[in-house]
């Protein structure tokens, strides 16, 4: 029993360790989100409902068959008044009752739509609606892909910010330790220790804030992915891998407004509105349907319908029915006119959506180009600040520099690191927005 308990505990530890070691690249995070994000799931449900709607509309034009069974018990048979002359009693009315107290009827009724313009147009519209739902699903996948990308960038930058701060803290801590040794030997004043301790405290405060920010960004990433927040993930990509292909080549990609999902959705809505107009016009035409009715009836003076020896009387008929719209007070024509105006509105919206997509593309181009230059400048500033810090630290160790100068330079390093991190994040987001504008 003890061995079994130890085995189970070991297995649970391994499983928890595997869970804690869940590693994700950006592409893996995006694939997970496409499969699990709630917005995409809802879009897929809408697409499935649209397909079901096509089958529902199709079913209207297929043969319809209904069965029925009716039982009647006449507590009082219907009475008729017949002139008495028929029975040789002129001037008198004779009361007679026809029928039997018990009647049962079983029947089948079939019908088939032969012609209905609205139904044919409805079939076309249902298929168009299915295509619209499919486009919306693709848009949801597209949107969540870029939403996860931006969350992933935030999480990566937050993680690397901690690393940068840890390196800065390490340098100051080392200088502080060396200064304490010099203070014991009487080579520096106590103020130098205090200055460096303040600088070290600043680094530690920034690290605490950065760690909290990293936790929040990971939770945001998991939320956007549709992953439980208690799952542990380890980001495999870093700023280096994410910016490896950052170049001006993306600026040369061809922009096509029709590839924008919003434009596609509006254009598909225009097609549906055109079919709506067609359907309203088709409603002015006659519709034709055929029907067939088969019944069998039992008439009994006693409740003995189970007696198979007694006769059932068949009734059978078929026919064709035509409905012709004649007058609707002009309401149908006004409905057509309204639908035509709505189509014109959609057309105007389509043109605006294309212009909006092009504007977004141009803005994304400018933002990306600016971000590339900003990263270059921020990187150069960071390298320069680190170089200045190294020289100032060396001068301080040699006794020809002050702790005040060292802490000032340390603050410059802090600012340069923050500027570089922000520049990286802006560049990654600008690149993602440009890819989004290009429908990539």
Other Cβ atoms within 10 Å of 164 Cβ, number: 20
pLDDT digits (tens, 9 = 90+) for 256-292: 888 899 999 999 999 988 888 888 888 888 989 998 9
In a shared domain, residues 256 and 147: yes
In a shared domain, residues 27 and 134: yes
Q: Residues 60-97, buried b or exposed e (16+ Cβ, 10 A)?
A: ebeeeeeeeeeeeeeeeeeeeeeeeeeeeeeeeeeeee
Average pLDDT over residues 170-187: 81
Query: Tokens 């390298």 sit at which residue?
Result: 383
Q: How far apart are CA 399 and CA 388, in angstroms?
A: 16
In a shared domain, residues 251 and 342: yes
User: Over 70: is that where the pLDDT of 48 sits?
Assistant: yes
Q: How far apart are CA 267 and CA 249, in angstroms?
A: 31
Other Cβ atoms within 10 Å of 58 Cβ, number: 14
Both structure tokens of 387: 């170089």
Question: In terms of residues, how long is the chain?
Answer: 440
CB contact at 8 A, 160 and 238: yes
Per-residue confidence (pLDDT) for residue 7, from 0 to 100 = 47
More confidently predicted of 89 and 9: 89
Per-residue confidence (pLDDT) for residue 143, from 0 to 100 = 92
pLDDT digits (tens, 9 = 90+) for 406-418: 778 888 888 888 8
pLDDT digits (tens, 9 = 90+) for 291-308: 899 999 988 888 888 787
User: Which is it for the CA torsion 244, 246, 247, 252, positive or negative?
Assistant: positive
CB contact at 8 A, 378 and 417: no
Per-residue confidence (pLDDT) for residue 12, from 0 to 100 = 55
Mean pLDDT of the chain: 86
User: Over 70: is that where the pLDDT of 42 sits?
Assistant: yes
Cross-strand pairs, 94: 82
Both structure tokens of 396: 């301080």
Domain contains 2: no
Per-residue confidence (pLDDT) for residue 20, from 0 to 100 = 52
pLDDT band for position 78 (50/70/90)? confident
- Give the contacts of 408 (CB within 8 A, at least 6 positions apart): none
Per-residue confidence (pLDDT) for residue 100, from 0 to 100 = 86
Per-residue confidence (pLDDT) for residue 16, from 0 to 100 = 53
Domain contains 57: yes
Cross-strand pairs, 287: 323
The CATH number of residue 151's host domain is 1.20.1600.10
The predicted model scores a pTM of: 0.78
Q: Give the pairing type, strands 102-115 and 233-235.
A: unpaired
Domain contains 253: yes
Of 8-12, 81-85, 435-439, which range is least confident? 8-12
Q: How many domains does one find in the chain?
A: 2
Smallest CA-to-CA distance from 197 within 388, 1, 410 is with 410
Domain contains 12: no
In a shared domain, residues 314 and 422: no
Contacts of residues 220-225 at CB distance under 8 Å and 24 or more positions apart, as own/partner, are 220/151, 220/154, 220/155, 221/29, 221/148, 221/151, 221/152, 221/154, 221/155, 224/33, 224/37, 224/144, 224/147, 224/148, 224/151, 225/29, 225/32, 225/33, 225/36, 225/37, 225/148, 225/151
CB contact at 8 A, 353 and 139: no
Domain contains 309: yes
In a shared domain, residues 91 and 172: no
Per-residue confidence (pLDDT) for residue 122, from 0 to 100 = 86
Average pLDDT over residues 17-35: 80
Identify how many contiguous H helices and E strands the chain contains and give both numbers.
9, 8
In a shared domain, residues 183 and 305: no
Per-residue confidence (pLDDT) for residue 18, from 0 to 100 = 47
User: Over 80: is that where the pLDDT of 392 sits?
Assistant: yes
More confidently predicted of 399 and 42: 42
In a shared domain, residues 239 and 272: yes
Per-residue confidence (pLDDT) for residue 6, from 0 to 100 = 44
pLDDT digits (tens, 9 = 90+) for 314-335: 999 999 999 888 877 788 888 8
E-only strand ranges, 51-101: 64-73, 79-83, 93-97
pLDDT digits (tens, 9 = 90+) for 101-129: 889 999 999 999 888 888 888 888 888 88
CA angle, 283 then 288 then 293, to 5°: 135
In a shared domain, residues 243 and 171: yes
What is the extent of the structural domain holding 80? 69-114+291-324
Per-residue confidence (pLDDT) for residue 307, from 0 to 100 = 80
């Amino acid at each position: 029993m003890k061995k079994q308990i130890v085995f189970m505990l070991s297995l649970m530890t391994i499983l928890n360790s595997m869970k804690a070691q869940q590693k994700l690249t950006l592409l893996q995070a995006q694939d997970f989100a496409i499969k699990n994000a709630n917005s995409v799931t809802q879009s897929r449900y809408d697409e499935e409902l649209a397909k079901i709607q096509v089958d529902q509309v199709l079913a209207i034009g297929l043969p319809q068959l209904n069965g029925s069974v009716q039982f009647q018990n006449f507590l009082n048979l219907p009475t008729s008044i017949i002139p008495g002359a028929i029975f040789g009693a002129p001037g008198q009315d004779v009361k007679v009752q026809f029928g039997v107290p018990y009647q049962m009827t079983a029947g089948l009724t079939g019908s088939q739509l032969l012609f209905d313009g609205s139904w044919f147009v409805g079939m076309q519209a249902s298929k168009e609606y299915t295509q619209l739902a499919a486009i919306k699903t693709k848009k949801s996948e597209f949107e969540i892909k870029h939403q996860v990308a931006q969350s992933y960038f935030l999480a990566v930058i937050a993680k690397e910010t901690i690393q940068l701060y840890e390196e800065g803290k390490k340098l100051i801590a080392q200088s502080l330790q060396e200064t304490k040794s010099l203070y014991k030997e009487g080579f520096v004043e106590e103020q130098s220790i205090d200055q460096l301790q303040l600088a070290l405290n600043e680094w530690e405060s920034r690290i605490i804030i950065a760690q909290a920010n990293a936790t929040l960004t990971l939770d945001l990433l998991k939320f956007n992915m549709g992953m439980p927040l208690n799952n542990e993930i380890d980001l495999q990509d870093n700023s280096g891998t994410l910016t490896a292909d950052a170049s001006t080549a993306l600026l040369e990609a061809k922009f096509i407004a029709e590839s924008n999902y919003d434009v596609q959705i509006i254009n598909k809505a225009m097609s549906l509105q055109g079919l709506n107009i067609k359907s309203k016009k088709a409603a002015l035409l006659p519709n034709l349907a055929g029907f067939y009715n088969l019944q069998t009836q039992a008439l009994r003076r006693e409740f003995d319908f189970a007696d198979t020896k007694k006769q059932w009387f068949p009734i059978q008929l078929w026919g064709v029915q035509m409905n012709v719209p004649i007058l609707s007070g002009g309401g149908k024509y006004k409905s057509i006119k309204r639908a035509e105006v709505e189509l014109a509105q959609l057309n105007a919206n389509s043109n605006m959506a294309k212009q909006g997509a092009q504007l977004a593309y141009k803005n994304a181009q400018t933002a990306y180009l600016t971000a590339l230059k900003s990263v270059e400048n921020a990187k150069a500033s960071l390298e320069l600040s680190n170089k200045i810090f190294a020289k100032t630290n060396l001068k301080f160790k040699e006794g020809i520099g002050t702790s005040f100068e060292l802490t000032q330079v340390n603050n410059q390093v802090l600012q340069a690191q923050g500027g570089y991190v922000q520049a990286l994040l802006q560049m990654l987001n600008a690149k993602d927005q440009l890819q989004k504008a290009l429908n990539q």
